Each structure stands twice: as structure tokens, then as C-alpha cells.
Structure 1
Amino acid sequence: MAPAGRLLALLARPQSPSRAGAMAQPSCFALELPGGGLAHFAVGTGGTEGPAAPPDPRAAALLGPPGRSYALCVPVAPGRDCAARVRAARLLQRLLLQLRRGPLGRCQLLRLLRYGPGGGAGGGAGGLQRGVLLRDPDDSPDTRRALLALLDSCLEAPRPSLGEFVGDESHQLWQRPWELRGGREWRQVDPERVVPAPEPALHPVVPDLPSSGVFPHREAARAVLEACTPFMPEARAVLELVDRCPRQVLRGAFPVIVIEGLDATGKTTVTQAVADALQAALLKSPPACISQWRQAFDDEPAIIRRAFYSLGNYIVASEIAQASARSPVVVDRYWHSTAAYAIATEVSGAVQHLPPAHHPVYQWPKDLLRPDLVVLLTVSPEERLRRIRGRGLERTSEEEELEANSVFRQKVEVSYARMESPGCHVVDASPSRERVLQAVLSLIRDRCPQLP
């Protein structure tokens, strides 16, 4: 029987009660489009009778023929504890590495989020799931076989979910989930319609950010690294340093100035020059005492990486408290950069999908020592790129993303601009070093009258 005939036969088959009940609670998806847009669609919203409204044409072009697409998502085990989150994040990272190899390496990968109909992390059973849409332009049977073999290699529960998108003769789109029957064989079950879904008022990942990247307090970040200690000795070493820091630190009488900026805005040069001009202590985040483990954490999934940088800020806060009793303090990056990069990375899509201004995610953590002033250095994208190429220095994956992805860069910049309590004071770093230094010093003396 031809593929279209097999599909029509399946659609005509009575549904099992379990699958029919599942379709009463739809799953919604947010698909990140090439270029930074988002398309939302839903699966499992009704029976097989009659035509259904087509999904967003942008999504339909990536889900339907020609070619074939698959949705691979990683659920989080019930309880939503940090250990489960960490396991899910590491599993997704491992899957993404394998998807870029062998017969799957020729397929297009697009970021995919699965969420409940309420639009947030708690909107459906299992909450928010991160995953990927894999599009095979050739519709090769090797792709399906490789994906099922990949699922077989995932021995820990819960296993990733896999859905295959197909079209029928009436141009309707369906998703056919794969399920493991009897613990031995993968089989496709009843198809579910793919239909439009409204864009939620808030990006579905935003309610999850306090648990996955923009940690609102020290204990939230600490819990993540605690879950990493069985497989990362570096996590235990960082926690030992964090636990030596007082939970409540008292700042000294001298002002604390933070200088932020994207890579190649002159931040390091200006920070050193400002510290020299003010005879200030110069500190950096992450601090030197944990920088030796930075590469190990940069190689881990975002939730682990963010926890490392967040806890680094609390160690720096302890150093600031001591140093500000003796002199002014200048800090090369602090909480704003940690949060801005986390928001820009986790929130898929373009700038318009970021949390709106004044959202709590932009608020400074209440248990972290607050600076007197945050200076944000900016240059045009063209000037920044020219400087990067002239430096020839090794960069992190996020700094490389800034160079290659203008949408990501814009999201970082807008996230910086929306930070509150304290906000960022922008200084154009395009002129000569001397002029930029004078502009920064003028701003500092205006905002910090307690300076001698």
C-alpha cells in the first residue's frame, strides 16, 4: 500500500480510548524559524473527522512535504527538581551532538519548545519541554532508522518523545507519535492533527527562567550545581568556595561601579583605565578563584553554565564587600551580563519575543550586593565586528554567536537596556579611548558624589 493510502487507513481506524483522551489535552509547540521568527502550532486537538484549519504557513512549510520532519523533545521527570532538570538538559545536549553526525547530519535542525495550552511551563502534563525539529529534505528511510536507534540509546527514563509529521491527500498535516511497546519495539500510534495555535501573551519559556537561567537568589543557582556534583568535581569545588562566603554581606563606604559591554566594546581597557584613574580595586566576574573551571562549565548545558556564572557573582559580592571598605571598586561584568545572555539564549525567536519591559526577570536579585552604578559600553555592530576580527583572540561560543547572529546580539542588547534596580547607563565606546574614558569618568563622578 502506498504511504498516502496507509495514512488514510490509519485515519479511518477507530482511536483507542487512551489516545482519544490524550487528544483532549493538546500539546502546543513554538518553532524557531530561520531568521529568528516563531511559529506556534498545536497537536492532538480533536478527532479525525472533517477538515481542520491549516497551521501557520511558515510552520506548514517546515512540517509538511516535500521532505519529512520529526519533533524530538526531552521531558523532565515528575517533580521538576534540579536533578531532573540537569539530566534533561544534558540528554538534550548529547542528542544534539549526535543529530549533527552520520546520516542525520545532513538534516536541518530548528529549536522547538513543547508546552501546555496555558502558554507557560506549568500549562500541561510534564510542563515545558525543550527539543528540536529535524527536517529531512530527502525523506530518507535512513533518517527514521537513525532516529529510532538514537532513542534506543537513551536508557534512562523518561525517554525523549518522537513525533513524525505527515501530510494526506487533502493537504491536512498530522503528527504520528512513536511509542515503545513492551519495552522492545518502537511503533507508531494514532495520528494527531496539526492545527494553528495562538501565540501566548508571554513566551512559554519565560515562566521557567527563574529555575533554568536567571536565578532570583543564591540558593536557586546553588541547587543546580549541587545536582551536578555526582559527575562534575568542579561543581563541588565551586560550591565549597561559595559556602565560605557570608549570606549577607555589608558593603563599605566607597562606591561600586560595574562596567558591562559586549565583546570588543573596549570594556576591559576602559575598566582598567577607570580603576587606575580612581585608584580603585579592580575585580572581575567570574572571579579568578573559579576561572580555572570556566571551560568545563562552558562545555555544559545552559542551566549548568548559568548556575556557575550566577554563583560567581556571589563570590565577587563577597570580594566587593571587603574591597569597598578601603577604596572605590570597579567590577568587570557582574549580574547584568549573566542575566542578559541567559535571557537572550533561552528565549527563542526575535527581539519582540523577549519578556516585556519591567518584567521581574530584569530585576536585580534581592540577596546580591548591589552596585552604585552600572555603565554599559556600546559600539555599532560594524565597529564591533571590525575590532573582533582585528584581535584574533579566542572567544566563547556565545561571543561567536554574537558575531554570527544579529538576532541574538539584538536580544542581548535589548535585555541589557531593560535591566532595572539598577539600570544601565549607556556610553558610546566608538570614539578614541581617551574620549571614552573621560565620558565614563564624568558619568561616575556625576552619579557617585561620595568619591573624593
Structure 2
Amino acid sequence: MLPRGPRAFSQAAATALRPPSGSAPERLCVAELPGSELAYFAEGGGGGDGGRPPRGFLPPPGRCFSFCVPSGPSAGERVRAARLHRRAEQRLSREPFGPGGAAEVLPLLAYAGPSGSRPEKGFLVRDRRRLPETERALEDLVRLILPPPARLLSVYEAAAAEDGGGGPLWRSLWRLQGAPESKVLLGRARVAGAAEPALHPAAPHLLDGAAVFASFEAARASLRECLSVIPEAKAVLDLVDGCPVHAKKGDFPVIVIEGLDATGKTTVTHALKDSLNAVLLRSPPPCVSQWRKVFDDEPTLIRRAFYALTNYIVASEIAEQSTKSPVIVDRFWHSTAAYAIATEISGKIQHLPPVHHPVYRWPGDLLKPDLVLLLTVSPEERIRRLQGRGIEKTREEAELEANNIFRQKVEESYLRMENPACQPVDASPSREEVLKTVHHLIKKQCHFP
């Protein structure tokens, strides 16, 4: 076991904490710091970015810990990892880790480079006071949450230099065994800051079942893996399996109204329903409303699979109704994708996938609308409209209000959508002016038989 205390660690670091020659390639990680700043660092392999100390780690006597939830390429492995990560996240929100606790918990992503395997989600725990109970609580949590082969806990400690300055940062990797206090040191590696990659490490995997589903079958495969743990999943699958595959639009136009809550979607959609003598549909549709609360409490992966599948239910309704009249849709695929992208990509707007990335493209097997209008208002106006509405919020809607950066990422993701793109409409003016603008765009771009 490691010597206890900063001085003992410093003495051991001079002789024992050196990466062996021919060691495994360095592991890359990114932690999301307060303020949504991203801190990239490398473990082993010589130190990432010239050996410079990474941001986000505490000087002695503080320590940091991390652990990740392993995943895999199959839908079943991804679902199991998502549920384990969510379970760990919930426990880390309590004492001694949560608000008012002794430690600070930050999101972490571990990856193997731009062309490596799927990143693993995890947590970086910063223990400023170096409390023994924090380490014990973390070890107990990892033993409880993760299966035996994956019970790994990283401990980061800075070796204090002899002259009193900051020494290098080292990571010790421990495998936790079944009994309390029983663990084996697997190795040690130098930790240093790493250069930020050109593309966020989560971006290459967004479309392979991580959050944004590019097809009906991809979303269905993920929800099928939930049958044994979420009874409502069977009811949802029975419903979507009864929908026609590759539903086709009729001759009448299909117009989608997108936007955050309190941007005026209800006002606009009902006005268009009357003025165009149209059918008004909503995504998700009322037929799944009894299951929304269940899936809103699930991890992002499962929640997004549910909402992705409800889009195909709406598509079947659109296909039927658009043969008889115009169709207005209150939200559709763009909402599902925008929230998923903003959730999965940590950091700020600049860390989103670039414009024209495949994640912004409409699924090839989903009925495509003729026009998508994105209603926008200023953040201040949206908050003013939200006050006093008394509507129960989803977890993501609550985060829109609490996290300005998350809101910005959702809005920017909307604007990057392609084929069809979202056409922004300023919904701040009077009701009459907004409807005049909307009618002008519909008349200009939609054909009525």
C-alpha cells in the first residue's frame, strides 16, 4: 500500500513512482471543471503536453480520485454502463460528496485518442482536506457499483518538492478487492496536462448508439436491452412495432415548430392549426405520456432511445394525416438530437461537433417535414415567461434554467441542424407580428395541393 501523508509520498515518489520502460500507452482524460472549462490530462507515456502540470488537481495536502464505468460496443453493454453510471452519480450527490460535503465531484471522460475505442464516463473527485473517510466512502461506492474486474480507483497525489514548491503529479491505480480495506496496487504513472484534441472525444461516438440515434433500429436495440429492468419498455416497443416502417408523407405540407419552453410554441401551433385548417400533433405524442416520467428518470442513453422512438410514432401519425390536410408538429427529431448533443458534449459551445458533422443530419428512415421553424427569445424574456407557469419540468428543462452554458449548447445545436435546417424566427415581438412572419415563411416555402 502507498505510504500515508504528503511527506511519505514525496519520499516514495523519488524512487518508486516512475513509469516503467515499455509501459502501456498513456490514457487520456478530460474533466469538466466549474464554469464548464475542460481540463485535458494524460496518465503515463511521458506526460502528454510537455510535462506541464494539469489543471483541475489540488496541491498538497489535497488529493484527487477518479473512477470510470466500463462500456462496450454492444447495445446491452452500453445500457448497463449507462445505468451503473447513473447509479454512481446519484450516490455521489449525497454526503460526503454532494453539496456541503467534503469533496467536489466533477464529470470525467477517459479515452484512448481520436481513433480509439468508445470513451468511458466517470468522475473526478477532489478532496481538499484529505479526509480518510472520503477515500473509504469512495472505495465502498466503487465496490458497490462496479463488477469485480472493473473495481479500479485512481488516486492522484502531488509530491512536494524539497524546496517547498509544487512537485510532479502521480496517479496510483488500485484494484479494489471484495473485503473492505483490501486492494492491490496495479501501477503508478506520471500525470501531466494534455493538448486539447481537434474534436471533443465524445463526438465520434455520438451516432453509434451513445445518444443520437441515426435510425429506428438503433434506438429500438437500446430500448430492448431495458426489458428486464424497465417494465414500461415493453409497452413502448409494442406500440412502435405496430407503426409502419419508413412512413411516407402525403401531399399536404408538414410544418414543425421547434424551440425551448416559453418561446411561444403553443401559441404559434394553435394559431396555425386554425388558420391553415391543419391537424396539430405533438412529439412525444399523448399515447406515451404515461411513461414519460419513468424514462425521464433514466440515464441519458435510455431517455434518448425512448424519445427517438416516439418520433417514429409521430411519423406514422403524420403520414396518415398529411394525406388529408396540412400538419403542424409541436417539436420533432431536432429537439431530441439537440438536447442529446448538448448533454453528451461537455464544455462550452466551441466544444460541440463542428458544422456539417453527421450528428446534425436528419435520420434517413424518418419521415421528413417540409419546413422547420425555430422560435427564439432572449434568455431574459424566456425566464420572464416561465415564471408562474407551474409546469413540472424534466431534468433537462430544469438544467436549461440553471445552466446558461447548457442552454447555449442546445440553441447552437438547433442552428447547426441540416436537411432540413431549422429556420430561426424571433418570437419576441407581439403575437400578431410573429404569426405574420411565420405565415410568410410557410407561404414562401410550402406547397399546398
TM-score (norm 1): 0.92
Counterpart CA distance in 2 for 1:22 and 1:265 is: 58
Kept in 1: contact 2:151–2:177 (CA 8 A): no
Q: In 2 relative to 1, CA 213–413 (structure 1 residues): closer, same or farther, beyond 3 Å?
A: same
Deviation at 1:295, TM superposition (A): 0.5
Corresponding residue to 2:196 among 181, 191, 199: 199
Query: Aligned-pair distance for 1:104?
Result: 2.6
What is the distance in 2 between the residues matched to 1:97 and 1:260? 31
> What is the Cα deviation at residue 229 of structure 1?
0.5
The letter for the 2-side match of 1:30 is V
Q: CA deviation at 1:84?
A: 0.9
User: Is 1:162 equivalent to 2:157 in the alignment?
Assistant: no
| In structure 2, distance between residues paired with 1:151 and 1:14 | 26
Alignment-mate amino acid for residue 272 of structure 1: H
User: For the aligned residues, what is the CA RMSD?
Assistant: 2.1
Alignment length (residue pairs)? 436
Helix, strand or coil at the partner of 1:53: coil
The answer to whether the 8 A contact 1:32-1:348 is kept is yes
Structure 1 residue 432 corresponds to structure 2 residue 430: yes
Q: How does 1:300-379 map to 2 (within 5 A)?
A: 300-379=298-377
- The letter for the 2-side match of 1:197 is A
Distance 1:349 1:14 in 2: 36
1:43 aligns with 2:39: no
Which residue, 81, 84, 89 being the options, matches 1:88? Answer: 81
Instruction: Identify the residue that residue 164 of structure 2 maps to in structure 1.
Output: none
Structure 2: runs of 5+ lacking an equivalent: 162-166
In the TM superposition, what is the alpha-carbon distance from 1:160 to its structure 2 partner?
4.6
- Matching residue within 378, 399, 412 for 1:380: 378
Rounded to whole Å, the distance in 1 between the matches of 2:22 and 2:380 is 51
> In the alignment, is the contact (CA less than 8 A) between 1:258 and 1:375 conserved in 2?
yes
Where does 1:292-303 land on structure 2 (aligned, <5 Å)? 292-303=290-301
Identical aligned pairs, as a percentage?
Answer: 54
Q: Which amino acid aligns with 2:9?
A: L
Kept in 1: contact 2:58–2:128 (CA 8 A):
no
Superposed CA deviations along residues 109-129 of structure 1, whole A, max 9, x for unmatched, are 11110000x235xx15xx310
Distance 2:33 2:95 in 1: 24
Deviates more, 1:387-396 or 1:291-300: 387-396
Structure 2 residue identity aligned to 1:39: A
Q: Which amino acid aligns with 2:131?
A: S
Query: 1:75: which partner in 2?
Result: 70
- Take 1:423 and 1:81, find their aligned partners in 2: how far apart are those partners? 31
Once the two structures are overlaid, the 10-residue window that deviates more, 3-12 or 384-393, is 3-12
Give the whole-Å Cα distance in 1 for the aligned partners of 2:344 and 2:425. Answer: 27
In structure 1, what is the Cα distance between the partners aligned to 2:387 and 2:152?
Answer: 42
1:277 aligns with 2:287: no
Counterpart residue number, 1:114: 110
**Separation in structure 2 between the aligned mates of residue 26 and residue 181 of structure 1, nearest angstrom:** 25
Match of 2:51 in 1: 53
Query: How big is each residue's C-alpha offset from its partner over 1:285-313, in whole Å with a ceiling of 9 and x where there is no partner?
Result: 01111121001000000000000000000
Give, as a single letter, the amino acid of the residue that structure 1 aligns with 2:292: R
Alpha-carbon contact 1:226-1:235 (below 8 Å) kept? yes
Instruction: Work out whether 1:3 is the aligned partner of 2:5.
Output: yes
Question: 2:335 & 2:92 partners in 1: Cα distance?
Answer: 31
Are the aligned partners of 1:255 and 1:371 in contact in 2 as well (CA < 8 Å)?
Answer: yes
Residue 24, structure 1, aligned to residue 19, structure 2: no
Q: Which residue of 2 is the match for residue 147 of structure 1?
A: 138
Preserved CA contact (<8 Å) 2:415 2:421: yes
One-letter amino acid of the structure 1 residue matched with residue 316 of structure 2: S
Contact kept in structure 1, 2:88 and 2:145, CA below 8 Å: no
Q: Any stretches of 5+ residues in structure 1 without a counterpart?
A: none
Matched, 1:421 2:383: no
What is the CA–CA distance in structure 1 between the aligned matches of 2:105 and 2:87, rounded to whole Å?
A: 14
- Check 1:351–1:429 CA distance in 2 against 1; reply closer, same or farther (3 A cut): same
